[in-house]
Structures are given as structure tokens and as C-alpha cells.
Amino acid sequence: HYFEDKHALVRAVIAHQTKMALDIQAQFPLDSIAALEAWRDAIVALQSDRNCKGGCVIGSLASELADSDPEARADLSAGMAQWEQAIHEGLTVMQQRGELRPEADPAQLALFVLAALQGGLLLTQVHSDATPVKVALDAAIAHLASFTTQGRVTQGE
């Protein structure tokens, strides 16, 4: 009754889920290794609180719609790009402050972090255990830390 057709409803759901994910992400600027670790801890806690059900709100929609609905895939791609950009912005701040070495590529690192998150969330859902998302984000943070001027590696604790 509120939407022109099913496609309009699907696009509205994608927009809503993207906004939810980005609103949560905005609580964590990811502009330091400590902020990344706090973000990881919050994601692991959220997954544990949810009994590892549901996965990522955008990723779940993507697995359902990306192959069958080109408009939905474009909306999902745009949503993921916004999320990647939010991570990229935090890493760029780190680089501007001199905490990431000049040769570090914040765009590639942001994509890596988001890919680790998505894979970790999927495996967390499949295994019904938050360990995969923690391990994936620990590895992403350790990789990112290898580009810091201090070379600090996260302990994942």
C-alpha cells in the first residue's frame, strides 16, 4: 500500500538497512588502532548478544538479491561503498596525523577491513559462534597496524 511495487519496497528496505549500518558505524570513527579494537569488541559483543543470528544487515540482503535484481545490487553496492568510505575516512585521519606511514593506502585498507568484517560475520552466522568475526577483525587490525609508524600489532584482547 505504501510502495509503488515490490522493487520500490526492496529498495526502501536496502536504504533503511544501509542507514542502520552506517548509523552504528558512525559511533566508531576508526581513526586509531584503539578505536578499531573498540569497534571489533562492540561487533563481537553484538554478535554474541544476538546468538550469532542475522549476520550483516546489508550483507544478508546482498546474498539474496545481488544476482537476481540489478537495481538492488546497485543499491547494495552503493551502501557498501558508503560503509567502506566511512572506514576510509578514519584511516585517512590516522594518516594525516602521521600514525599511518605515507605508503599505506587508506582506500585499500578500508576495503580489506570491510571484507574481513563481512567474511567474519558470515562465518559467525554459519558457525553460531562469534570467534570468526573476532579472528577476521583481529587479522585486519594487525595488518593495518603493520602500516603504523609505531608498527603496533593488536593483541585482540
Which contacts of 4-7 are long-range, i.e. CB under 8 A and separated by 24 or more positions? 7/69, 7/71, 7/72
The CA–CA distances, whole Å, from 26 to 62, 69, 149 equal: 21, 29, 25
CB atoms within 10 A of CB 50: 13
Does position 156 have pLDDT exceeding 50, yes or no? no
Give the C-alpha separation, 41 to 157, whole Å.
Answer: 8
Residues 91-142: pLDDT tens digits?
999 999 999 999 999 999 999 999 999 999 999 999 999 999 999 999 999 9
The whole-number pLDDT of residue 7 equals 86
The answer to whether the predicted template modeling score (pTM) of the entire model surpasses 0.85 is yes
The whole-number pLDDT of residue 151 equals 58
Residues 44-77: pLDDT tens digits?
999 999 999 988 989 988 988 888 889 999 999 9
CB atoms within 10 A of CB 72: 20
